[in-house]
């Protein structure tokens, strides 16, 4: 049972990435999200954007959940956890990110309507992209980031303080963990508007960073340096736009 669930979990991640790759090809963009040729298929409506963002959440955020699921497994014997609870945690976490997918889809529709981003989710204004980089970088130094990252960085502590048994208990804990995860990582999702939300390069780099940021050994050492890098990039982009 354990092996089958983990195989299904990793297969879901691979399937999500495969779908995103096919969607990028169908949208007429290259791996960095830039249009190639004349066969572009821009996404302008909520109905088109929401499924794309939902699949993107699966591709990017499920890999970051591996330490959390392993922590739950460590408590399955000593704290009466179950495979149903494990599935509940996973489902609750994903439901939270689906909610975020709906929110950011609505934001993208508004940005398109305001001509701030184009149909491929690429910022049309260098100052907007620069401001977004600076805001997300500055968030890395906030108390909110510290609290949310603390939970994501140490899910065992969250489990010990909020332990519930069974599927419903796992679902409740998954929703809570997902909320903290959204609070920790929303900025990296928003950065898709800097280079294009269909950029596989951005997706890969953001996913890799969020995985490392949650590793117990090194995660706490990456948050503020990343903030400095993002702020510096934002300032450099603002200067470049002015020239």
* pLDDT tens readout for residues 149-163: 999 988 999 999 999
Using an 8 Å Cβ cutoff, are 149 and 213 in contact?
yes
Closest to 174 in 3D by CA, of 73, 96, 60: 96
The pTM of the full predicted model, rounded to 2 decimals, is 0.89
Say whether 202 sits in a helix, a strand or coil: helix
Q: Specify the pLDDT at position 22.
A: 86
Closest to 170 in 3D by CA, of 155, 184, 185: 155
Using an 8 Å Cβ cutoff, are 69 and 89 in contact?
yes
pLDDT at residue 54 above 80? yes
pLDDT at residue 117 above 70? yes
The residue written with tokens 């009466």 in the block is 80
Helices (H), 114-199: 126-139, 143-153, 155-162, 166-190, 192-195
pLDDT, tens digit (0-9, with 9 covering 90-100), for 176-212: 999 999 999 999 999 999 978 888 888 999 999 999 9
- Taking the C-alpha atoms of residue 129 and residue 11, their distance in angstroms, rounded to an integer, is 34
- Taking the C-alpha atoms of residue 208 and residue 212, their distance in angstroms, rounded to an integer, is 6
pLDDT at residue 34 above 80? no
The residue written with tokens 């470049």 in the block is 240
């Amino acid at each position: 049972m354990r092996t089958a669930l983990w195989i299904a979990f990793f297969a879901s991640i691979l399937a999500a990435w495969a779908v995103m790759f096919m969607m990028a090809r169908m949208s007429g963009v290259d791996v960095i999200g830039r249009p190639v040729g004349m066969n572009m298929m821009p996404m302008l409506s909520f109905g088109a954007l929401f499924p794309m963002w939902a699949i993107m959440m699966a591709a990017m955020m499920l890999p970051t959940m591996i330490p959390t699921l392993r922590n739950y497994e460590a408590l399955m014997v000593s704290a009466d956890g179950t495979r149903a609870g494990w599935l509940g945690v996973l489902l609750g976490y994903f439901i939270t990110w689906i909610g975020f997918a709906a929110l950011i889809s609505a934001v993208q529709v508004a940005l398109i309507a305001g001509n701030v981003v184009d149909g491929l989710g690429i910022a049309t204004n260098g100052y907007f992209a620069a401001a977004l980089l600076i805001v997300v970088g500055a968030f890395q130094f906030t108390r909110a980031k510290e609290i949310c990252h603390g939970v994501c960085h140490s899910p065992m502590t969250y489990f010990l303080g909020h332990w519930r048994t069974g599927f419903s208990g796992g679902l409740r804990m998954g929703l809570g963990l997902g909320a903290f995860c959204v609070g920790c990582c929303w900025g990296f999702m928003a950065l898709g508007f800097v280079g294009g939300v269909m950029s596989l390069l951005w997706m890969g780099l953001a996913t890799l960073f969020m995985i490392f940021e949650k590793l117990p050994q090194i995660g706490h050492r990456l948050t503020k340096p990343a903030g400095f890098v993002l702020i510096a990039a934002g300032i450099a982009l603002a200067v470049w736009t002015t020239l």
